[in-house]
């Protein structure tokens, strides 16, 4: 039974329609980041009433004409992204070091993130809007810290967020993302656009991820679950830095930039690379 499921996943992940859906997923991810960045930018200049997180972004989509259709396409796209990452976790990928356990584990983690995005988008489409990322973070952190050893588990998760943020930042500086793109299809003009988008966008994403991990670590060390922050709270706290609202605006523009890079990825990402290595 397990073999049949694995073969089915392998066959599905190699189908051309799956590759098209994966690109739809990259567009969905880009739209999500564009909306979150735009909401954060509004917060920076005092015009934001919605949370600058996934819930706020999905609500912004739902409020527009044709919103339910777009949400449905986003859910399908996130499901395809999750399947793609799970397939890479199981079978590896034909990029450098793609078969190392760490790479497979990273693919599995991304698959879990996209699964959560799929579930949240589908739930929102069905009318279950849930709570803000800040409230969810505080609630989950409090529950975990109330269990034996939960404080250390929260701290371990926090360290994982910080490590992920650092890795994303370093990869942005080293331009490791170029290994994931069909560079042979990119002309000079496309390269001059895509590379800066990737560097700026991934730098901002790494910074936000590391900051969220730092808040979570502080909550664990001080045993104050209310100090944990979701995406919205993390972004808003950039306004409390010395740069003030301009610091938040800069990070918001970085998040917007990553959204633009995701749209570029939908054209140039090696989503069909699975066919080469299996």
Write down the pTM of the prediction: 0.83
CB atoms within 10 A of CB 104: 18
- Taking only the tens place, the pLDDT of each residue in 89-133 is 877 654 444 457 777 888 888 888 899 889 989 988 888 777 767
Torsion of CA 73, 77, 79, 80, to 10 degrees: 140
Low-confidence stretches of the chain (pLDDT beneath 70): 1-17, 47-50, 92-99, 132, 243, 272-278
Give me the DSSP letters along 147-200: STTHHHHHHHHHHHHHHHHHHHHHHHHHTGGGGGB-GGG--HHHHHHHHHHHHH
- Position 259 scores a pLDDT of 94
- The pLDDT of residue 92: 66
Q: Which domain holds residue 21?
A: 2-277
Q: What are phi and psi of 243, to 5 degrees?
A: -75, -15
Q: How far apart are CA 44 and CA 244, in angstroms?
A: 9
How many domains is the chain partitioned into structurally? 1
Reported as half-sphere exposure (CB side, CA atoms, 13 A), residue 227 has a value of 17
E strands within 9-161?
none
Give me the pLDDT at residue 276, please: 42
Name the DSSP letter for residue 129.
-
What pLDDT is attached to residue 146?
80
Q: Residue 103's pLDDT is what?
A: 78
């Amino acid at each position: 039974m397990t073999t049949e499921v694995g073969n089915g996943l392998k066959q599905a992940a190699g189908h051309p329609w799956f590759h098209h859906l994966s690109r739809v997923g990259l567009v969905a991810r880009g739209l999500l980041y564009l909306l979150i960045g735009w909401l954060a930018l509004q917060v920076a200049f005092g015009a934001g009433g919605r949370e600058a997180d996934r819930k706020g972004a999905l609500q912004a989509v739902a409020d527009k004409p044709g919103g339910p259709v777009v949400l449905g396409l986003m859910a399908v796209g996130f499901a395809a992204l999750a399947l793609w990452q799970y397939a890479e976790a199981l079978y590896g990928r034909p990029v450098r070091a793609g078969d190392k356990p760490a790479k497979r584990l990273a693919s599995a983690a991304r698959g879990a993130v996209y699964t959560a995005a799929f579930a949240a988008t589908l739930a929102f489409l069905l009318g279950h809007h849930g709570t803000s990322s800040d409230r969810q973070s505080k609630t989950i952190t409090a529950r975990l810290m109330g269990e034996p050893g939960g404080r250390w588990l929260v701290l371990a998760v926090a360290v994982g967020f910080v490590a992920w943020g650092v890795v994303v930042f370093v990869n942005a500086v080293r331009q490791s993302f170029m290994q994931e793109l069909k560079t042979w299809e990119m002309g000079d003009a496309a390269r001059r656009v895509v590379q800066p988008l990737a560097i700026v966008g991934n730098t901002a994403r790494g910074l936000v991820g590391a900051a969220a991990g730092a808040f979570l670590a502080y909550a664990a060390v001080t045993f104050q679950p209310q100090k944990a922050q979701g995406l919205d709270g993390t972004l808003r706290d950039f306004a409390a830095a010395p740069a003030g609202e301009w610091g938040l605006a800069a990070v918001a523009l970085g998040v917007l930039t990553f959204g633009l890079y995701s749209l570029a990825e939908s054209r140039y990402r090696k989503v069909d690379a699975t066919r080469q290595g299996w």
